[in-house]
Amino acid sequence: MFETVSKVAIHQQQFKLLLKRRAKLVKQPIFDAKLQHKIEHKLLVHAYTIAFSDEASQLANVASQGSELGIFVHFYKLLSAEKTSGTDNELTFVNELIALYESDPEQFEVMVLLFGLLISHFTNAKGHAAQSNNVCDQPSNIKQWGIDTAEQLKAIQYSQSERYNLLQQISLKWDESALKGYRQKLLNQPVKVALPLAGLLTSQQQIPPTELIKHYEHVSHEIALAGFILGFQRKDKTAPMALFNRFSNTEDPHQKAQLLSLAGLTHDPKWVEPCLLFCQAHPEFTLDVLISFHAKVFLPLIIQLMQIPNTAQASYQAWLYITDRPLTMEAAIRIAGEKTNTLRMPQEQQDNMPLLPNKHQAELYRQQFMEQQGELLIKGHSLGYHSIQDELKSFRGIAIQRALLLNHEGLAGLAKTHFSNTVVFSQVLTANQYTHVFHDTTINGVGNAS
């Protein structure tokens, strides 16, 4: 028994280390997709080793004492079991996972990861994780799994359950009649809903323009934001002015940052001045906002913000994510609009001057990028509007998903959104499959881009 406990402890330790490594990775606005897949494959290997070893029952019992690995092992075994007459293991899996989440929401990140990895694995390979080199890299053909989406929507609506946070990980075909009824009900009431659910409700392309306007003007910021995303995907001519008015009339800086992030994705130069003023007033949002301003036309804006001490660090980080061009740092020679001759300053005063990225070096890089084909710039790659998806397949992260959010007209639903914490987005990007999914960090990203 001691040997069994020791064996499980080793797997648990490695499992936790991998989870921490993955959590650190996916917090970056842009990161390597292969590294993410490698970590996720190793997680499945540890779960497989515990679930199907010779001492499986003992190991599973020891591991299931509330640990992350225990949760993984339990559901891995459930999905791996052979189906018997009258039993639907997949539906049992979904129901049990929802129940576990609602009883212990603190395990949400682990359960979301579990959901994505195991669904991907068992709908494709139907084999053991240890025997597959592409467990997390195959496009899935996920079934409904016996889930009544109309009933699930009622549960979400009336119990205020957050189960949709899990259900959105599956590429379900939601009942359009139920979605339409719930959406129209919300549009006529001064209520608020979570952003993921607001995204689901706007996942129907049949929404008429008159309803889009109601979204733009709704008291709920989340409903309005979901409506704007759909409006820009459809190239609704009223969306740009409606977004500008909404931004101007919004006082909450967190909400303004979300609206401004969406505005950056439109690549409209008229947003340069509002962005400059907002970042100076609220420098804590600078990085989260600027990673959406990846069109080359915005490079002068980023260079300007790098010369302002309170936005310099965050805007330089955004510069690196967008251009992949490090800059030398030098003491500021222009502060608050006054030229300063550093040679005449006392040494102590020179030492205390802030270090800012070299703007002349940045300008030379900008000119080089402008000579290259493509209107967009991400990780140093000059991209065109129509080639962006193919060019970015090797990357993941919130910056990538924002870049793709408005890229295609007529997508079914609010697609290509922030799923760097799940396998779903990898499938969307590599297989060109779009799902009715939406995550609350799609436009926000606050706290996830640091």
For residue 166, tell me if it sits in a domain.
no
- Between CA 253 and CA 444 the distance in angstroms is 11
Longest Cα separation, the chain: 87
Closest C-alpha to 146, from 87, 222, 101, 198: 87
Q: Is residue 163 one of the residues assigned to a domain?
A: no
Q: Which of 99, 131, 163 is the last residue of a domain?
A: 131
Choosing from 131, 160, 181, the residue where a domain stops is: 131
CA distance 197 to 188: 16
Amino acid of residue 28? Q
How many percent of the chain have pLDDT more than 90?
A: 31
Query: What is the Cα–Cα distance from 184 to 295, expressed in whole angstroms?
Result: 36
Q: Which region among 118-122, 258-262, 350-354, 410-414 has the lowest average model confidence (pLDDT)? A: 410-414
Does 130 score more than 90 pLDDT? Answer: no
Q: Which two tokens stand for residue 16?
A: 């936790």
Tell me: pLDDT of 98 over 60.
Answer: yes
Structure tokens at 311: 């936005």
Cα–Cα nearest to 302, from 338, 264, 276, 328: 276
Check residue 136 and give its pLDDT: 33
Work out the number of other CB atoms within 10 angstroms of the CB of residue 161. 16
pLDDT category at 134 given cuts 50, 70, 90 is very low
Q: Token pair of 244, please? A: 């500008």
Take residue 306 and report the two structure tokens written for it.
């790098």
Tell me whether residue 276 is exposed, middle or buried, using C-beta atoms within 10 angstroms of its C-beta: 0 to 12, 13 to 18, 19 or more: middle
Mean pLDDT computed over 91-101: 75
Chain-centroid distance of CA 157 in Å reads 24
Asked whether residue 112 falls in the same domain as residue 255, the answer is no
Using the predicted structure, report yes or no on whether residue 115 has a pLDDT greater than 90: no
How many structural domains does the chain have?
2
Query: Does 242 share its domain with 127?
Result: no
Residue 209, domain member (yes or no) = no
DSSP-derived secondary structure for 277-310: HHHHH-GGGHHHHHTT--BGGGHHHHHHHHTSHH
Would you say residue 418 has pLDDT above 50?
no
- At 420, is the secondary structure helix, strand, or coil? coil
Tell me the pLDDT tens digit for each residue of 306-359: 999 999 999 999 999 999 999 999 887 544 344 445 455 566 655 667 889 999
Residues 118 and 248 in one domain: no
- The per-residue DSSP string of 389-400 comes to HHHTTTEESHHH
Q: Do 399 and 258 have their domain in common?
A: yes
258 and 379 inside one domain: yes
Is 220 a residue whose pLDDT tops 80? Answer: yes
Answer whether residue 96 is part of any domain. Answer: yes
Q: Does residue 73 lie in a domain region?
A: yes
Lowest mean pLDDT among 16-30, 230-244, 434-448: 434-448
The torsion angles phi and psi of 21, rounded to 5 degrees, stand at -65, -40
The domain in which residue 261 lies consists of 237-431
Is residue 315 within 8 A of residue 286, CB to CB? The reply is: yes
Residues 247 and 375 in one domain: yes
Q: What is the pTM of this model?
A: 0.81
Q: Are strands 329-331 and 381-383 parallel, antiparallel or unpaired?
A: unpaired
Residue 410 and residue 273 share a domain = yes
At 278 the pLDDT is 98
On whether the CB atoms of residues 350 and 331 are closer than 8 A, the answer is yes
Same domain, 122 and 241: no
Among 102-106, 127-131, 333-337, 399-403, the range with the most confident prediction by mean pLDDT is 399-403
Give pLDDT tens digits for 425-450: 444 444 433 333 333 334 544 333 33
What is the C-alpha to C-alpha distance for residues 193 and 214, in angstroms, rounded to an integer? Answer: 15
117, 118, 121, 122 alpha-carbon torsion, rounded to 10°:
-160
Q: pLDDT confidence of 170, banded at 50, 70, 90?
A: low
Query: Do the beta carbons of residue 110 and residue 19 sit within 8 Å?
Result: yes
The answer, yes or no, to whether residue 82 has pLDDT greater than 70, is no
Is 406 part of any domain? Answer: yes
More confident residue, 44 or 130: 44
- pLDDT tens string 353-386: 788 999 999 999 999 999 999 999 999 999 987 7
- Give a yes or no: residue 442 inside a domain: no
Q: Tell me, what's the pLDDT at 55?
A: 56
Residue 111 has pLDDT above 80, yes or no: no
User: Is the residue at 306 inside a domain?
Assistant: yes
